Structure 1
Amino acid sequence: MMDLRVVLTLISLSSFLHTFQTQESKTPDVTDLSFRNMDFAMNLYRRISRHHDNNIVFSPLSVSVSLATLLLAAGGSTRAQIAGGLNLASLDDDDDELIPQLFQDLLSNISLIQQNTALFVDHRFDLEQVFRNQVKRFFGADIISVEFGKTDVSRDVINDYISRKTGGKVREMVKSVEPLTQMMLINTVFFKGDWQRPFDPNSTEAGRFYVDKYNIVQAPLMFAEDKFFTTVDSDVGARVLRLPYRGGASLLIVLPDPSVDYTAIEDELTADRIFRWMKNLKPVKMEVHVPKFQLEQRYDMRELLPHLGISSVFLDSANLTGLSKDVGVKVSQVMHTAVMDVDETGTTAASVTSAGITTYSLPATFRVDRPFFFFLYHEASHSLLFMGRVIDPTQNSQ
């Protein structure tokens, strides 16, 4: 039996989106892909959130790109499950290359991030030439020959690659290598963004952050007074704030009302709702208090993906004949690591409606002092790059 190990490495930094399209084009395009991928992201988020009550950060883009790469090699029910789990089944009916072509178009439009795909292939593994050509063509993949039998050497080669591609944010993604591994698929996403209007570090003060009814922590709260785009969603009981970065990226913060449990909003997260928040944003002069936070999370996607209908790829019966004609090729592991760092200058992580200015005699206040959600999205492509929640900004990992 031959195992194919797949590793997804994700580093989140920041991204921004604000316009959207409510009707699907007759011919699927990047906007359609991004909308569908956002609903996939919400489904994946809910699966992650059911495992614990801690902070969450992950990159829907990196997970999707890695699965789309496998789609090039998959057939039969294995392919159908991957496309269905990604919420892209309707795009996979007639043209096998439509989905990878759309991802290629998407990635070429997102210049704010450094995205890399790499295949580490055992020197004895017979990788199909068609697959080699396709992953290079659509995803610009690096194909690197290693000798997995030399476990320590191959591990170090892979970790060095990941560290270089993530600006040193992820140094030891791969803890160990099984000598029978035939291939590792690595996808990294890295972005470093500066706020359009940086926070003054001298204005950052310790403040109370209400983790829940019984737990209060002291967290460094950044402060700024300016015109910010904001909206209110009274249906779910939440306020929304957009913090822009330079170069077309923004961080969207969704703050549940004090009387609303954040878990109730999780069930309402959809692409439609998030796009509606974007549409309804209006500029308001206000005081903003936002906690600094550092997040690092690691997920075993093999535990999560079957809940989204993607299970065949892990079984002995997996159809990955496009990858190799060898019998019994399957995915043995899918790991995802995400890192995010938000401070006064901007964000480092390893993802506008025109209106009149509303002013008040005293500025309105947006104080983020309780659990909140964040979404990082790209304006031109409408693509959600990173998302998560902050339950306790003083805790950086689980």
Structure 2
Amino acid sequence: MKMEILFVMACASLLVPSSEAQEISLNITELTTKNMDFAMNLYRKISSFHDNNIFFSPLCISTAFAILSMGAKEATREEIIQGLNLGLLERDGEPELIPELFKQLQGNITQSGELLDQGNTLFVRLNFEVEKVFKDQISKFFNADIQNIDFGNAKASKTIINDYIKRRTGDRVKEAVNDIDPFTQLMLINTIFFKGKWELPFDPKQTQDDRFYVDKYNIVQVPMMFREDKYYYASDNLLKVKVLKLPYEGDIAMLIVLPNKGVDYTSIDDEINAEHFLGWVKQLSITKLEVQVPKFKMDQSYEMHKILPHLGISSVFENKANLSGLSADIGLKVSEVLHKAVIEVDEKGTTAAAATFTGITAYSLPSNFVVNRPFFFFIYHQINNSLLFMGRVIDPTKM
């Protein structure tokens, strides 16, 4: 009988608009680029199932499976590495290179000064033996904890795990786990929580209800935030989109990608990749703008074990899974991968926050950037361009 491993990835983003080491560091850019293309591939697969709002954390998902890859062997490990788009980063004789890159990336991100916390914990069934090498590696590279739990008491273990996730995500992700199979052997919990304040906060007194055009036949009223200021902006005439950067205090920013009027957002789906994203960031230039952005909240859940096989990660969910690096117990496979992500965007921020820009020409009549139709957004670390969260908003009135 196959024994089950359950993944739960919980991500909360309260956006309160409001010698060897050196060599490896040079490849962090490669890691973030590969992660970004993985994110875009995953987004396209999720979007193929529906036309609703989307929000997830590619960093949360890739980190969880990078941890799992350290316990996987042979074809199972190869599928994970290739599915995460990390195959080109592997080097013969350096099996710890990719984990080391994740470690350095995490260190770079958490030094930014924002409230950004990522955690990894393995809840292990009583008397389940985890291989010492695996235990040491995940502690070294991912700072992962291992805790024993009685999965046979499904009600109690569910409460313990949900309480843990709730604490690690600032009370934003609740009831991430609905049911626990009493035969579960191990549960890997990966959480990420970001609370950011806008560098240029919006004034709530300026927020007014306005139209948001979901499509040609569906118009909704949403609270639209407003601010006139100097923003980083770019226009991509080839893809027919406009790009706006909304920075948070520190090194993290939101990039909004807005299709031009009359351009169907679905025509942009197949074109979004790391190359275009990095091109947009590079082309940003400071411009005085009247910006209008809708307030919105999203609470999204995904059964990744049903999505990831479409990206080539399949055997880890099947009876042929090889997780012998994780435990000597035979018959291990991953039964479920649950990913839950929450975001809230509003006007709040520290009013004392300010930024000084030089070389700016102010115009008496500033241009407009009105986000009143479906758009994409990316929350990323500006120093290394690591993509933390991404999503699309089709209808800001829907969770």
Q: With structure 2 as the length reference, what TM-score do the two structures score? A: 0.93
SS at match of 1:261: coil
Report if aligned partners of 2:259, 2:375 keep a CA contact under 8 Å in 1.
Answer: yes
Q: What is the aligned partner in structure 2 of residue 372 from structure 1? A: 375
Report if aligned partners of 1:28, 1:91 keep a CA contact under 8 Å in 2.
Answer: no
Q: What is the aligned partner in structure 2 of residue 351 from structure 1? A: none
Report if aligned partners of 2:13, 2:194 keep a CA contact under 8 Å in 1.
Answer: yes
Q: What is the aligned partner in structure 1 of residue 86 from structure 2? A: 88
Report if aligned partners of 1:14, 1:251 keep a CA contact under 8 Å in 2.
Answer: no
- Give runs of aligned pairs for residues 305-320 of structure 1, distance below 5 A: 305-320=308-323
How far apart are 1:7 and its partner, in Å? 1.7
Distance 1:189 1:77 in 2: 29
Report if aligned partners of 1:34, 1:383 keep a CA contact under 8 Å in 2.
Answer: yes
Distance 1:92 1:155 in 2: 37
How far apart are 1:184 and its partner, in Å? 0.3
The CA RMSD over aligned residues, in Å, is: 1.8
Q: What is the aligned partner in structure 2 of residue 141 from structure 1? A: 144
Distance 2:311 2:13 in 1: 22
Amino acid at match of 2:333: K
- Give runs of aligned pairs for residues 221-232 of structure 1, distance below 5 A: 221-232=224-235
Distance 2:358 2:264 in 1: 31
- Give runs of aligned pairs for residues 153-302 of structure 1, distance below 5 A: 153-302=156-305
SS at match of 2:13: coil
How far apart are 1:359 and its partner, in Å? 3.7
Q: Percent identity?
A: 54
How far apart are 1:235 and its partner, in Å? 0.4
SS at match of 2:190: strand
Distance 1:260 1:325 in 2: 54
Q: Tell me: CA distance 1:115–1:79, structure 2 relative to 1, closer, same or farther (3 Å).
A: same
How far apart are 1:247 and its partner, in Å? 1.2
SS at match of 1:211: strand
Amino acid at match of 2:346: D
Amino acid at match of 1:4: I
- Give runs of aligned pairs for residues 334-353 of structure 1, distance below 5 A: 334-345=337-348
How far apart are 1:11 and its partner, in Å? 1.9
Report if aligned partners of 1:14, 1:386 keep a CA contact under 8 Å in 2.
Answer: no
Amino acid at match of 1:148: F
Distance 1:35 1:270 in 2: 9
Q: What is the aligned partner in structure 2 of residue 38 from structure 1? A: 36
Q: What is the aligned partner in structure 2 of residue 109 from structure 1? A: 108
1:66 equivalenced with 2:64 (yes/no) = yes
Amino acid at match of 1:10: C
How far apart are 1:176 and its partner, in Å? 1.1
Q: What is the aligned partner in structure 1 of residue 97 from structure 2? A: 98
Distance 2:136 2:31 in 1: 23
Report if aligned partners of 1:231, 1:280 keep a CA contact under 8 Å in 2.
Answer: yes
Distance 2:49 2:204 in 1: 35
1:361 equivalenced with 2:359 (yes/no) = no
SS at match of 2:272: coil
Q: Tell me: CA distance 1:27–1:165, structure 2 relative to 1, closer, same or farther (3 Å).
A: closer
1:54 equivalenced with 2:80 (yes/no) = no
**What per-residue deviation string (whole Å, max 9, x for no partner) do you get for residues 287-335 of structure 1?**
0000000011000001110111100100111111001111110000000
Distance 2:311 2:381 in 1: 25
Q: What is the aligned partner in structure 2 of residue 124 from structure 1? A: 127
Q: Tell me: CA distance 1:27–1:376, structure 2 relative to 1, closer, same or farther (3 Å).
A: closer
**What per-residue deviation string (whole Å, max 9, x for no partner) do you get for residues 127-149 of structure 1?**
11111111111111111100100
Q: Tell me: CA distance 1:138–1:216, structure 2 relative to 1, closer, same or farther (3 Å).
A: same
Structure 2: 5+ residue runs without aligned partners? 17-22, 351-356
Amino acid at match of 2:263: V
SS at match of 1:334: strand
Q: Tell me: CA distance 1:146–1:242, structure 2 relative to 1, closer, same or farther (3 Å).
A: same
Q: With structure 1 as the length reference, what TM-score do the two structures score? A: 0.93
Distance 2:216 2:248 in 1: 33
